[in-house]
């Protein structure tokens, strides 16, 4: 920040804040004077402060807050890209246990089986970093990729299902590790099954590592995910959301913001049914959707004073 203050010449400094930031880290500016704090959704910002009381102690001038919305609907980044459904793997906080991950994928497979075969579906393993899919035990997935095992995937899932029922009825704590291994196997097989119908998003665009919100306006029929902040971006773009994580079956960490953000973005568990109530679009105010971030920036640029930059020698 010292380098920033010394080397960047500017009349004003604007801070573009993340969707769920609140006042987190704003006490780390070390004297950098912020002229305007640009927030996506002021109602969501206030909500976070209400559930994160300690962030209210980080004082900022509320008159400097400017709600700017999201620009990607009005100013599409990838107008050539069209896709029917995108599967966005949620945060590990949403599916903390191997059983939760198995249930999540099983729900997705049920949902996908109802989708028109002509519709395009893509899997996005992470909002921005796709080097691996957190839902998988990669070693188990690789082992089950063996061509001699693939024909027996359905049989393996069926047999494991019987074994799980027996072990669960015994309720022996020492079986927990073994049970988790069995869930990992089922999860890997469901992922294999899903991959036959839904290729990775990287097959659709070389920019697949970019954040999901850039692509959401180009998704025509639905976002398939769990208890994820990606729900906000789908609702903002008025794309149906299919939540495949049942909140009643997970041990969610109530100290994490994800627990509270999912109360705000409460789209109920779909239970594998391809049904969505458009009333949930109202979670996002139309006023926020109507904001024009690019126009705001252009207006600000017209208003600020110009600085004569010193001549830089070769």
List pLDDT tens digits, range 5-27: 888 888 888 999 988 888 988 88
Task: Spell out, as residue ranges, where the chain has pLDDT lower than 70.
Answer: 127-132, 305-314
Which pLDDT score is estimated for 238?
Answer: 96
Q: 206 CB contacts (<8 Å, ≥6 apart)?
A: none
The structure's pTM equals 0.90
Which pLDDT score is estimated for 131?
Answer: 61
Residue among 231, 225, 242, 263 at smallest CA distance from 88: 225
Dihedral class, residue 138 (left if φ above 0, else alpha if ψ from -120 to 50, else beta): alpha
Which pLDDT score is estimated for 313?
Answer: 47
Q: Read off φ and ψ for residue 44, nearest 5 degrees.
A: -65, -40
pLDDT digits over 95-120, tens only?
Answer: 889 999 999 999 999 999 999 999 99
Question: Any idea which residue has 């400017």 for tokens?
Answer: 66
Dihedral class, residue 272 (left if φ above 0, else alpha if ψ from -120 to 50, else beta): left
């Amino acid at each position: 920040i010292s380098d920033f203050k010394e080397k960047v010449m500017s009349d004003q400094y604007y801070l573009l804040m993340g969707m769920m930031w609140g006042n987190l880290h704003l006490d780390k500016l070390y004297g950098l004077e912020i002229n305007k704090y640009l927030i996506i959704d002021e109602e969501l910002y206030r909500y976070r402060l209400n559930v994160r009381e300690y962030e209210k102690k980080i004082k900022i001038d509320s008159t400097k807050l400017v709600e700017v919305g999201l620009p990607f609907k009005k100013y599409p980044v990838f107008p050539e890209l069209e896709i029917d459904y995108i599967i966005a793997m949620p945060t590990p906080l949403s599916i903390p246990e191997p059983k939760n991950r198995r249930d999540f994928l099983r729900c997705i497979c049920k949902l996908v089986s109802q989708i028109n075969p002509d519709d395009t579906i893509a899997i996005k393993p992470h909002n921005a970093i796709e080097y691996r899919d957190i839902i998988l035990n990669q070693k188990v997935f690789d082992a089950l990729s063996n061509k001699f095992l693939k024909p027996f995937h359905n049989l393996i899932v069926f047999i494991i299902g019987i074994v799980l029922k027996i072990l669960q009825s015994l309720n022996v704590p020492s079986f927990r590790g073994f049970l988790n291994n069995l869930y990992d196997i089922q999860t890997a097989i469901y992922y294999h099954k899903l991959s036959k119908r839904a290729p990775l998003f990287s097959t659709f665009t070389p920019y697949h590592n970019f954040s999901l919100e850039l692509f959401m306006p180009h998704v025509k029929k639905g976002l398939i995910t769990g208890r994820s902040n990606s729900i906000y971006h789908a609702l903002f773009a008025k794309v149906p959301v299919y939540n495949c994580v049942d909140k009643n079956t997970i041990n969610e960490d109530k100290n994490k913001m994800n627990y509270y953000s999912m109360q705000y973005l409460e789209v109920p568990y779909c239970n594998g049914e391809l049904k969505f109530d458009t009333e949930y679009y109202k979670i996002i105010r139309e006023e926020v959707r109507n904001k024009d971030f690019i126009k705001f920036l252009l207006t600000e640029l017209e208003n600020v004073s110009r600085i004569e930059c010193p001549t830089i020698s070769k």
